[in-house]
Structure 1
Amino acid sequence: MKNLSCRLPLLISLLLLAGIIKGQSFNFALVTDTHVTKDSLACNDLKRTVDQINKTPDISFVLVTGDLTEEGDRASLEKVKSLLDQLNVKYYPLSGNHETKWSESGATDFGHIFGSERFKFEYNGITFLGFATGPIIRMMDGHVAPQDIAWLKNEFSSAKPNTPFVLVTHYPLQDGDVDNWYEVTDLARKYNVKVILGGHYHRNLLFSYDGIPGILNRSNLRDKSDGLGGYSLYRVTPDSILVYEHKIGQEPKKWGGYSLSKKYYTEDNSIYKRPSDSVNHIYPQVKEKWITNIGNTIYSSPVVYQNKVYVGDDSGILSCLALRDGKEIWRFKTNNRIVGTPAVSNNIVVFGSADKYIYGIHANTGNQIWKYPAKEAVLGAVAIEDGIAYIGASDHTMRAINIKDGSLVWEYSQVEGYIETRPLIYEDKVIFGAWDNNMYALDRKTGGLLWKWNGGLTRMHFSPAAVWPVAAHGKVFFTAPDRVMTAVDAQTGNTVWRTKESMVRETIGLSIDKTRLYSKTMQDSVVCYSALSDTPNKIWSVNAVYGYDHAPSMPVEKDNIVYGSTKNGVVFALDARTGKLLWKHKKGNSLINTVVPVGNKECLFSSSEGIVGVLSAQ
């Protein structure tokens, strides 16, 4: 009797929440930010949530809105699925940034394991649309891919007039979280979108996304204050959507909601903030020589070879464009997204795909010459030297491949993490980082391990894995998400110096004369350090006024000009000797890839918005 009396208030509360469902009234649960690893307390938190949802009466379905895992790995995703599969009702999962940024599969495992990267379903007259907000592999703001925007347009336009919609995302659809948030809100405001649900902030918040109601939900992880995990319960009635926090073992508590009959917004978006290209009026000498819309998100940098441009995209297509005017020459289709930057030599384009193959394609015709199988997705960028291509993959292997026939020269398969960087070929070594906190140096001829640097890093998220390392004067230089610039001895792998002075991250470049290092800081500034000194020696720093930036794009020097790009869509040019800002130009909102100077004060760029172009500053 004592146990029954203790549980009676909870049971009564749950029954009141369920109520007597009439008309369109129904209940559902929302679980988010579970951050599971294959063996962790987070697993227990999710298991308790599943058990409690199963005991809660009249739950119609469950939404799971991203960051299901901590490290995006397959084992953790499979663990989450095994727990969610124990639910007594259908669940609809979405990926979060922890599944898409840190992903050995190139953010493809989620779709393979859960069946799709989006969802659409109708319940009691309301259509629920869930879609990813990225980012994919590269560190950047969230981004809704062009193909997902097209999907939303089709779902909206093909629905019956005045169909009520609920949109479901991971990131909040606002400036600072999703770089093209306005593409979604401008589209949504033309239709009957009632609310946008999501997570990411780990707390309960009501939002207004350009006037459209939004609700963010608490993390499933246990609170530090009371040690209790929890999730959200929603009750939808004919005139309202109400949200309750349901901590494990506690009574649900209502904390927010919106009217379903009130109109919160109109089609007019003129009062809401939009990105500005006003900087382009300050530097009118910069012209867009040509712009080509590929149509799919681009996460690889373009490369130039014999007046042609080669770039891979999110749909698995390698495109060849004319450098003169951007017109398409040919396309080659793989079976999954291309993330790593290609390389070209001897009329052969070499690149990897998340379809687990490395390809050799004829540079003029686009015909396949060879392909080499890996055991997992190939996300690494390519370096070619003396007819040998060096490329890393997610099967923890760095390979050397003869570009003429695709034959394997050697492979090193003891890498502890997956590889996305472009390897550095320096003297007799192949040098690269991986998502395991390590920097590796292999013998260029045999693939044998020469040294491995760790630097005392403890979290895989701090790995020097996205930066393209550079080397000069017997030292290898790189930066990492721990905000440190590092120099190590190229022969031994011993640390020469490390500095946090400039708050840099995953971005470094080397001057043509090999005396200076360039790096973007995370707030406005570009810094220059000496490549000659055995201690950190800053030569100059300039405020380029590009705002907050954490994109892993490398500064590149040509003709005494340093070119760089930012996540905010700004390309900048600096005097290499003094750091003086020469010009800036904004094109879109997401230039996360390394720009390519092509001479005559021109540079080539690619964008996650699906465009490739040339800027000219004559």
Structure 2
Amino acid sequence: MKRRLLINILLLAVGFIQSAALYADHGTFRFAQITDIHFSPNNPNPTEDLLRTVAQINATDSIDFVLVTGDIAEEGDRATMLKVKETLDLLKVKYYIILGNHETKWSDSGCTAFEEIFGGERFEFEHKGILFLGFNSGPLMRMANGHVVPQDIRWMTERMNLFNTGNSQLNKPVILVTHYPLIEGDVDNWYEVTDAVRPYNIRLFIGGHYHRNRDLRYDGIPGILMRSNLRDKDGKPGYGIYDITQDSILVYTQRIGEPKQQWASFSLTKQYYDHNGKAEKYPDFSVNKEYPNAKEQWIVQTGAGIYCSPAVEKNKVFVGDDMGVLTCYALKNGKKLWSFQSGKRIVGTPAVAEGIVVFGSADRNIYGLNSKDGSLLWTVKAGEPVLGAVTIENGIAYIGASDHTLRAIDVRTGKVIWTYNGVKGYIETKPLVTADKVIFGAWDNTLYALNKSDGKELWKWTGGLTRMHFSPAAVWPVAANGKVLITDPQRAMTAINLENGETVWRTFQSIVRETIGLSEDGEQVYSKTMNDSIVCYATKGDKPRELWASNVGFGYEHAPSMQVEKDGVMFGSTKEGLIFALEPKTGKVLWKHKIGNSLISTVVPLNARQVLFTATSGEVGLLTIDN
């Protein structure tokens, strides 16, 4: 008995030694982290802060490389990112960089400039036995929670499988690098990411975003958020230092001109989480049991991020995606009929009329396709990426681009009828086409009104907005009773005189943001508040008049998905996968249905009982409501 016990103890000891050897099969090294740099053309301080950081890193011994974890440019523009690169290139060691939300939400290139400047949206490298994977955590072009797209989750698991080739236990150490923390409220599909990476030996997530040091757990997996590089209340810029030893990861904050201060440490041998477990929490889908009459007639998991709404013509549905593919699905059952590959991601919602699908791509082209088979009919080249949604009226397509231009194009021939290039910012909105005007906003604090026939400027409205981030650029304007109605990120709803661009009224009463929708009779306008409710205002009169407010219970909300009324039902959607319907005259909730947990773009109702939808997480589907 004693001999058997001794043998068992020896076997356990050998197993422990072998396991520890596997975990410690790496060299010791040191690296730095710089995050939340926020270069701005209007503020020299971030530039000075980064220059001081680069100089100190260059003067520090034994820094093997630097991780740069997003929010490098306040406005996400190409010119500022080029300046960041010039500064980072002064580093004597190699650096690896990912995007933050300031590069993904506000981007005149649809995030393509980042890839062109820095070589990619992800990074992968192995250093002394540890694999580092960095990837985008969104949100891309739409105000919402962060999101890791399906293709990036696949990429992570593929790279970790390759890293562990020949090792069935998948226990070679991996460090994952994001901007956002992988927790509820920050990344909408945190649970998908943690479940996907859990089988592997994830030693640490490294990120930023909060501008302060945080030691977190992502479903048990250790996660570090480092302070911003921006100077703190004492006027000191700062960054992170990581020492990798044989058995530990030691985490330090390094302020300029001071000794580094350790504030966290992690074991390289301890098991922090159950590799065979699941996320500690998942989204709540119980609302679907409360409203069982709303059902998914069909749903397609495309496997790619989607940032635009669907377009529909007769029996076909058209959707663009993050991979630059415009796909046609059968309206009846979601069957894929054809697809067309553009050069880069599609951000703006397409439009279709007269058998021709029109859409823009970040590859700097506007395309016209045959809706029957996807064959290319024509191409219009733009000077910069084309991120705008398309409006077609009477055979003319109206679409804006990042080359400061709005174009009117004959959909049959691809001939450009007119251009307006007086825009200072980039355009992502869907133009409003009225009887004689084209109205749209841009990321330059301005709403523009042009003559529909020749593109001549009629008026511009700025409403006293002073920050680019307050621009009426994501909202799709509506018009009724002699007014253009918009909402903006300053949390106001505004009515503007349609003829002269003068402000009729502006209210902050309801704390709305970037959504608006018009009733079918033009008498009411709808918007989402930033907490739980839909509000309804009258379009008549020279003062704001709220008609009703309805608590839909969707929580904190800031996604730019518009409200749409169809056949006596008002439809809406949220950043956390909810689609809902209200009675237009009273605001009574008719039904709610949760698709997933990511942004649902502006839905497309076919009638009172059928509504098409797309989701950032890659779903396209048709929801049907039974009586």
Normalization by structure 2: what TM-score? Answer: 0.94
Matched, 1:588 2:592: no
Q: Distance in 1 between matches of 2:299 and 2:260?
A: 53
| Residue among 375, 396, 417 paired with 1:367 | 375
Q: What do residues 28-59 of structure 1 show as CA deviations (whole Å, max 9, x unaligned)? A: 10000000124621111111100000000010
Q: What do residues 91-123 of structure 1 show as CA deviations (whole Å, max 9, x unaligned)? A: 000110000110000011111100011111111
Aligned to 2:152: 148
Q: Which runs of 5+ in 2 are unaligned?
A: 1-24
Matched, 1:466 2:474: yes
Q: Is the 8 A contact 1:130 1:169 kept in 2?
A: yes
Correspondence 1:484-563 to 2 at 5 A: 484-563=492-571
SS of residue matched to 1:612 = strand
**AA at the equivalent of 1:285:** N
> 1:232: Cα distance to partner?
0.6
Aligned to 2:33: 30
Matched, 1:77 2:81: yes
Q: Is the 8 A contact 2:73 2:102 kept in 1?
A: yes
| Residue among 49, 55, 59 paired with 1:51 | 55
Structure 1 residues 23, 606: closer, same or farther in 2, change over 3 A? Answer: closer
SS of residue matched to 2:64 = strand
**AA at the equivalent of 1:480:** D
Aligned to 2:45: 41
> 1:267: Cα distance to partner?
2.6
Q: Is the 8 A contact 1:138 1:592 kept in 2?
A: no
Q: Distance in 2 between matches of 1:139 and 1:600?
A: 28
| Residue among 270, 282, 285 paired with 1:274 | 282
Aligned to 2:184: 175
Q: Distance in 2 between matches of 1:448 and 1:271?
A: 56
Aligned to 1:17: none
Aligned to 2:19: none
Q: Is the 8 A contact 1:140 1:592 kept in 2?
A: no
**AA at the equivalent of 1:124:** K
> 1:83: Cα distance to partner?
0.5
> 1:196: Cα distance to partner?
0.4
SS of residue matched to 1:360 = strand
Aligned to 2:321: 313
> 1:553: Cα distance to partner?
0.3
Matched, 1:343 2:351: yes
Q: Is the 8 A contact 2:242 2:249 kept in 1?
A: yes
Aligned to 2:265: 257
> 1:387: Cα distance to partner?
1.1
Q: Distance in 1 between matches of 2:234 and 2:163?
A: 45
Q: Distance in 2 between matches of 1:265 and 1:543?
A: 39
Q: Is the 8 A contact 1:29 1:234 kept in 2?
A: yes
> 1:487: Cα distance to partner?
0.4
> 1:293: Cα distance to partner?
1.8
**AA at the equivalent of 1:174:** I
Q: Distance in 1 between matches of 2:184 and 2:174?
A: 22
Q: Distance in 1 between matches of 2:32 and 2:254?
A: 9
> 1:533: Cα distance to partner?
2.2
Q: Distance in 1 between matches of 2:372 and 2:50?
A: 53
Matched, 1:159 2:167: no
Correspondence 1:117-156 to 2 at 5 A: 117-156=121-160
Q: What do residues 474-525 of structure 1 show as CA deviations (whole Å, max 9, x unaligned)? A: 1000001111000000001000001111111100000000000011111110
Q: Which runs of 5+ in 1 are unaligned?
A: 1-21
Aligned to 1:406: 414
Matched, 1:570 2:573: no
Aligned to 1:14: none
Aligned to 1:215: 224
**AA at the equivalent of 1:59:** I
Q: Is the 8 A contact 1:290 1:614 kept in 2?
A: yes
> 1:454: Cα distance to partner?
0.4
**AA at the equivalent of 2:56:** Q
Q: Is the 8 A contact 1:38 1:75 kept in 2?
A: no
Instruction: Identify which range, 35-44 or 528-537, moves more after superposition.
Output: 35-44
Q: Distance in 1 between matches of 2:201 and 2:418?
A: 58
> 1:592: Cα distance to partner?
3.2
Q: What do residues 226-257 of structure 1 show as CA deviations (whole Å, max 9, x unaligned)? A: 11101011111011111111111111111111
Q: Is the 8 A contact 2:191 2:279 kept in 1?
A: no
| Cα-Cα RMSD | 1.1
> 1:25: Cα distance to partner?
1.5
Q: Is the 8 A contact 2:132 2:176 kept in 1?
A: yes
Aligned to 2:101: 97
Q: What do residues 559-581 of structure 1 show as CA deviations (whole Å, max 9, x unaligned)? A: 11101110110000100111100
Q: What do residues 157-184 of structure 1 show as CA deviations (whole Å, max 9, x unaligned)? A: 2222311000000000000000001111
SS of residue matched to 2:362 = coil
Q: Is the 8 A contact 2:131 2:163 kept in 1?
A: no
How many matched pairs?
596
> 1:270: Cα distance to partner?
4.9
